[in-house]
Each structure stands twice: as structure tokens, then as C-alpha cells.
Amino acid sequence: MKRLLQTLIWTAVAVLGAVALGTIAFHRGEPINATWFVLAAACSYLVAYRLYSAFIAAKLLALDNTRATPAERRDDGRDFVPTNKWVLFGHHFAAIAGPGPLVGPTLAAQFGYLPGTLWLIAGAAFAGCVQDFVILFCSIRRDGKTLGEMARDEVSKRGGLIAQLAVLTIMIILLAVVALVVVNALKSSPWATFTLAMTIPIALLLGVYLRYFRPGRVLEASLIGVALVLFVVVAGQWVADSPSLAKVFTLGGVTLAFAIIAYGFAASALPVWLLLAPRDYLSAFIKAGAIFSLAAGILLVRPQVLMPPLTRFVDGTGPVFAGKIFPFCFITIACGAISGFHSLISSGTTPKMIQREGHARFIGYGAMLLESFVGVMAMVAACAMTPGVYFAINSPASIVGATPEAAAATISSWGYPLSGGTMTGLAHAVGEQTLLNRAGGAPSLAVGMAQIFSSTIGGDRLLSIWYHFAIMFEALFILTVLDAGTRVGRFMIQELGGRVWKPMGRMNWMPGILLSSAIIVGAWGYFLYQGVVDPLGGINSLWPLFGISNQLLAAVALVVATTILLKMGRLKWIWVTLLPMAWLVIITMTASYQKIFSANSRIGFLAQANALAAQIAAGKIAAAKIADTQRVIFNLRLDAAVTAVLAVMILVLLVEALVQWYAILIRTKEPVMQETPYVATQWAEAD
């Protein structure tokens, strides 16, 4: 009887999900209610978790709850700490959920809501969750080894080095692109700039409090910090209203870029307790609060989605970034569907804290489903605004024009009606001088969130406060990624440098700290500066580069996972990791090829460089601008080279893995696994 009831309930969930997916896929003409998105996503995730993850857990991985995990065997109260599965789920989710699932779907909304939403749901269920789950399992069975260590041990030494280099490269591109998102959000906005600037002294204050006055009392310090941050969000309005103060905090893109570069250097070189850790605590609380508020807001307001399912830009002529749905939708939305970076979390901290192997399903697969849900909500928030407004905020001036009237005329001519007055009025309502040409996704997401929040609390009166709260929330946790990433990058450079020159590898040697901090900050700072001065807005070139590198890292993770599973003799079910891996290789190789060689100058780096070079040769560039144009040409060629290097790295790793797989399959080589030996759990119950 119970079984029948369960079957009926799951059948109902599956039918409801299918109806909701069908509705959003085939709906045409009138706006569609956001409830359908929530239903489609939630039901699909439930079914995927109930069926597919259970299948992977039982058949592919054969999770064993009688086997002691590293947390049990090596419990030291520091790294290896057995942790309740719900708490660890929260930890893992907080670690994997960054700005990616918010920004990527917002940018991909230029294709319409349908491609991005379907990729978010299907990509997560069949690729992203699988990667996170399987890598977590592999790392648990290897005492919490990192992806690089597993690649070295299970694929080849060269594989390990490639994984390490891929991580460093993606880190540099990632830091540059997220910094660019912050720059574009703060540009010419004294309110937002003041609010974010004030989070630095607040973090320093908390750092001193937590270090000297109340060591480790994270909750009380975070409570004080969150109250102060909310206060500075409101105080930002007074700054914006004061002519003298507003002038101080009204900064251009280049100035902001240098300020963020200096901040990154400080965060990397200063003691971690002073700035980085307290900012991370603040960010974690505000992130959790804002994400749950957004979910609650969407459920309460149930906004109409005004963006059509498919826009005219499916043909690749989009103003936000150039390129067709295939492959660009799939690399624009990385986090939220599949993100290689997650494999670093799944093979770092989490496997050392897991109590039971069986928990890997809930934590690895489940947390990624929740992140995907965040991505769907970001898509709803972006698509709930008028399409014209969306394009005006996200398109660079070189395409739509720099004035409200020019932008309105261009965007209206595309079939998305917009008046200049609408943009001026909206900017005024959210307390900004302008919302035009804010490529990067953060401002349009903030407008969407503010509209949803203000429909729940405060109405139009609080629209400007909500907008700046959303900007602060996005910028705060982007900066947390930036400073934490810069520090990790510094450690990587010190480790690599230590192989060449020993003192460099000493983590507390000050000249080494300063030099490696300067190298990592200089690397991402260069790409950031290049993005800020890019005539096409920077996002057009940097976000695809980030997407490609992130998805390539996911391919690396799946290559490692597939190799390990083959060695375990799971040939029958190997398609579970092999198919998403093949898909990632196809989309990243296609995107890399197009970004390097496409004849369309808005897509291909080399084509754009050649077009600019031809303009200089033909005397079409003013003498005063020739130096700037030559710099842009150099940057485009550099981007092409970086893309090519990334593609070559994955191809080399793939060949290494194929050789291994072949040897295993034809049995010329006995598979050697580096798994830790079985030890039976001493804990009474295996739940």
C-alpha cells in the first residue's frame, strides 16, 4: 500500500513537471507566469534526484555505508571533522554557489528564456550534479585528495600538471571577469561605490574583533557586520544626494579597476584574519539571506515573464555577447548547469567532513540541484523585466548608443519597444544617474530583484534601496570570490615557483608572498583592464573565455572520473560520465574554434584584430587613437592564444586518458587504483 502511494506521488510529480516544462517550451505570444518555471525546475530536480542520483549511487558508484570515511578514520577536529549531512550540505552549497549562477543566466537571457532554462535544468541533472557527485565520491575514497592529485595518480603525471595549470588559468580568467562585473555595476554610481567601499572598514573591524576581542565568535561578529552593512546601504543614498560626497564616489571604469586590483593585492598579502575571512563571513550570511529572499519573492509575487521564449538573437547577432545558441548558450551558463570549479570543492574540503559515503548523493548531487535552482531564479528575475530595458542595460554603447534616446531607437528597431523616458525614469527610480550600457549582468539582475522585492515590501518607495541592496549583495560576494581566489592563486604560484627556486615555496616568506601576490594580481588585473577599455564592453570577450575555461575544467574532472570508474570495472555504466564529458569537449572545442577563427569580427578574436589592423592600415583610425587600437589588437591576439592553450591542454589530457582507457579495455595493463583500503566503520548505525 505504502509503495503504491509512493508510486502515485512520484508519478504526479513527474506529470506536473512534464506539464510545466511543456508549458514553458511551447508557450507563445502572451507573457507567461514565473510559477511555471518554479514548478518545472522543482519537479524535474525531484525526479532526477529520486531516480537518476539513486541509480548512480547504487549501480555506478555502489556507495558503501559500512566503509569508514576519511572523516571517521582521520578525525582531527581541524580538516577531518565528521559533520552532520544537513550542515555539510549547507557548507558545500555556500562554497559552490557564487556569482556564476546569477550572472550567466542573466546574460544568456538575450536568447530568450527557453534555451537557458532548459540547459540549466537538463545540464544540472545529467552533467553538473553527476560531476560534483562522482568527484566527491572519488575523493572520499582517496582521503580527500584534490582533483590535481587524482589526475596525477589515476591518469598520468602530465595529467596532474595539466589539471594544476588549468586551475590556475581558470582562476586568472575567473577573477578578471568577476572583477569586470563589479566594475560595470559600480561605474558612475556613488551610492553603490560608497556602500561597497564601506564593507572594507567593516570587514577590518570584524577581523580585529574576531582576532583580539572575541576569537572565533563568528555569529555575534557577523550579526554586527550585517547590521553595519545594511546601515551603509541606506547611508549610500545620503552620499549620492550630497554633491561633494557624490563627486568623491563617482568613479570611472579604469579608476575602479585599479582600486579593485589594489584591493586584491591587499587581501592576498595581508593576514587572512584581518580582511579576507571576516568579509567571507559577512558575504555568506548576506548571500544566504538574499538567495532565500529572492526565492520567497518570486513565489509570493509570481511575476510575469515578459521576455519571449526565443529572441531574434538566436542567430548569433546578440548585443550582449555575439554567437549562436550552440555553443554559446552552453558556455555562457556554466555555474548553474555544470561548472568545473565545483570539482575543486568536491575534492577539497567536503570529502574530509562527510560522515557516510551514502551522504555523498545528498551533498554532491543535491547541492548542485539547489545551485541550478538559483540559476533558474536569476533567469526569471532577468526575464521578468521588459525586454527593451534588459537590452538597454546589458548592451555596450558601441552597439546601442550612449544616450537613452539613441538606445531606445536602436532597441525599438529590433522589435523590443522602449522609450528614452523609460530608461531615464527607471534610473531615477533606482537612484542611479544612468542604467545604460551596464554590461555584466549584475545591474540588470539587481533591477529584476529590486522589482520583485519592492512588489513584496515597500513598493516603489523602496525600489532604490532594494536595488542597492542587490548590487551590494552581488558585489560583496563577488569580491569574496576575488580575494579568496587571489590568495589561492598566490599559493599555487608559490608552490610552482618553489619547484624552480626553493625560498619561493616558503609560504611565510614575505618577499615570496609579495612577489607571488603581485604576479597573480597582475595577471587577472591585466585581463580586467583589457575588459574595461574594450570597445565592445569586455564581457563579449571575457565571459566566453571564462565559460570555456570553466567547462574545460569540468571536462578534466569528468576525464578523471571516467578513468577511475573504468579502473573500478564499471564499464557498463560508464556513459554516465562519458556522455557529459563528450558533450563538454564538443561545446568547448566548438566555442574555442569559433572564438579564435570565426570570420565574424564580433565573435572571432583574430577576425576582430585583423579588421582593426586593416582600419589602421587604411587610415580610418584617428592618429590619437592608433596606440589604443594597437593595444586592443594585441589583447585580442592574446585572448586567441589563451583560448588555444586551454583547448590544447584538454586535448593532451584527453589523449593521455584515451591511451589509459584503451590499455585497460584490452587488458594489456592491470588497472592500478590509488584507493585507500577498506576499513569498516565503527559507528553503530549506517543510515
Identity of the residue, 60 or 376, whose beta carbon is nearer to other proteins in the bound complex? 376
Site string for other proteins, 488-507 (x = CB under 8 A): x--x---------------x
Kindly state whether residue 193 participates in binding other proteins, applying the rule CB under 8 A: no
**Cβ-Cβ contacts under 8 Å for 328 (sequence gap 6 or more):** 316, 321, 322, 544, 591
Identity of the residue, 78 or 499, whose beta carbon is nearer to other proteins in the bound complex? 78
Distance separating alpha carbons of residues 61 and 70, to the nearest angstrom:
17
Check if the beta carbon of residue 155 is closer than 8 Å to that of residue 559: yes
Stretch that binds other proteins, among 20-28, 214-222, 395-403, 637-645 (CB under 8 A): 214-222
Judged by CB under 8 A, which of 40, 41, 63, 96 binds other proteins? 96
CB of 332 to other proteins, least distance (A): 13
Stretch that binds other proteins, among 11-19, 81-89, 381-389, 461-469 (CB under 8 A): 81-89
Amino acid 55 reads F
Q: Which of 364, 380, 538, 505 is nearest to 445 (CA)?
A: 380
CB of 217 to other proteins, least distance (A): 7
> 439 vs 227, 377, 418, 574, CA distance in Å?
30, 20, 18, 41
- Chain residues 432-471 in contact with other proteins, contact rule CB under 8 A: none
Kindly state whether residue 97 participates in binding other proteins, applying the rule CB under 8 A: yes
Kindly state whether residue 338 participates in binding other proteins, applying the rule CB under 8 A: no
DSSP state of 358: T
Kindly state whether residue 677 participates in binding other proteins, applying the rule CB under 8 A: no
Kindly state whether residue 174 participates in binding other proteins, applying the rule CB under 8 A: yes
Half-sphere exposure of 38 (CA within 13 A, CB side): 17
Check if the beta carbon of residue 133 is closer than 8 Å to that of residue 140: no
Residue appearing with cell numbers 503504491: 4
Stretch that binds other proteins, among 230-238, 484-492, 622-630, 676-684 (CB under 8 A): 484-492
Kindly state whether residue 348 participates in binding other proteins, applying the rule CB under 8 A: yes
Can you list the pairs that 206-212 forms with residues at least 24 positions away whose Cβ atoms lie under 8 Å? 206/278, 206/281, 206/282, 207/273, 207/274, 207/275, 207/277, 207/278, 208/274, 210/273, 210/277, 210/278, 211/273, 211/274
Q: Which of 300, 303, 319 is nearest to 311 (CA)?
A: 319
Kindly state whether residue 146 participates in binding other proteins, applying the rule CB under 8 A: yes
Stretch that binds other proteins, among 78-86, 225-233, 566-574, 659-667 (CB under 8 A): 78-86
Kindly state whether residue 83 participates in binding other proteins, applying the rule CB under 8 A: yes
Other Cβ atoms closer than 10 A to 423: 23
Q: Which of 459, 479, 394 is nearest to 195 (CA)?
A: 479
Distance separating alpha carbons of residues 611 and 61, to the nearest angstrom:
52
Kindly state whether residue 215 participates in binding other proteins, applying the rule CB under 8 A: yes
Q: Which of 353, 361, 344, 345 is nearest to 69 (CA)?
A: 353
Distance separating alpha carbons of residues 558 and 43, to the nearest angstrom:
26
Judged by CB under 8 A, which of 253, 309, 388, 485 binds other proteins? 485
Kindly state whether residue 558 participates in binding other proteins, applying the rule CB under 8 A: no
Identity of the residue, 373 or 416, whose beta carbon is nearer to other proteins in the bound complex? 373
Kindly state whether residue 619 participates in binding other proteins, applying the rule CB under 8 A: no
Residue appearing with cell numbers 572583477: 179
Three-class SS of residue 32? strand
Stretch that binds other proteins, among 10-18, 23-31, 319-327, 339-347 (CB under 8 A): 339-347
Distance separating alpha carbons of residues 70 and 99, to the nearest angstrom:
31
Q: Is the peptide bond before 215 cis (omega within 30 degrees of 0)?
A: no
Amino acid 210 reads L
- Chain residues 282-321 in contact with other proteins, contact rule CB under 8 A: 284-285
Identity of the residue, 342 or 595, whose beta carbon is nearer to other proteins in the bound complex? 342
Stretch that binds other proteins, among 228-236, 267-275, 309-317, 322-330 (CB under 8 A): 267-275
Kindly state whether residue 345 participates in binding other proteins, applying the rule CB under 8 A: yes
Judged by CB under 8 A, which of 79, 237, 456, 498 binds other proteins? 79
Identity of the residue, 481 or 528, whose beta carbon is nearer to other proteins in the bound complex? 481
Kindly state whether residue 178 participates in binding other proteins, applying the rule CB under 8 A: yes
Kindly state whether residue 91 participates in binding other proteins, applying the rule CB under 8 A: yes
Kindly state whether residue 211 participates in binding other proteins, applying the rule CB under 8 A: yes
CB of 183 to other proteins, least distance (A): 17
Check if the beta carbon of residue 72 is closer than 8 Å to that of residue 681: yes
Kindly state whether residue 341 participates in binding other proteins, applying the rule CB under 8 A: yes
Distance separating alpha carbons of residues 232 and 226, to the nearest angstrom:
10
Distance separating alpha carbons of residues 256 and 532, to the nearest angstrom:
9
Kindly state whether residue 281 participates in binding other proteins, applying the rule CB under 8 A: yes
Site string for other proteins, 644-673 (x = CB under 8 A): ------------------------------
Kindly state whether residue 129 participates in binding other proteins, applying the rule CB under 8 A: no
**Beta 32-33 vs 304-305: how paired, if at all?**
antiparallel
Number of residues in contact with other proteins, rule: CB under 8 A?
Answer: 59
With 0-12 / 13-18 / 19 or more C-beta atoms within 10 angstroms meaning exposed / middle / buried, residue 207 is buried
Check if the beta carbon of residue 588 is closer than 8 Å to that of residue 650: yes
CB of 416 to other proteins, least distance (A): 30
Kindly state whether residue 78 participates in binding other proteins, applying the rule CB under 8 A: yes
**Chain residues that interact with other proteins, rule: CB under 8 A:** 75-79, 81, 83-84, 86-87, 90-91, 94-100, 146, 167, 174, 178, 210-211, 215-219, 222, 271-273, 276-277, 280-281, 284-285, 334-335, 339, 341-342, 344-345, 348-349, 480-481, 484-485, 487-488, 491, 507, 546, 550
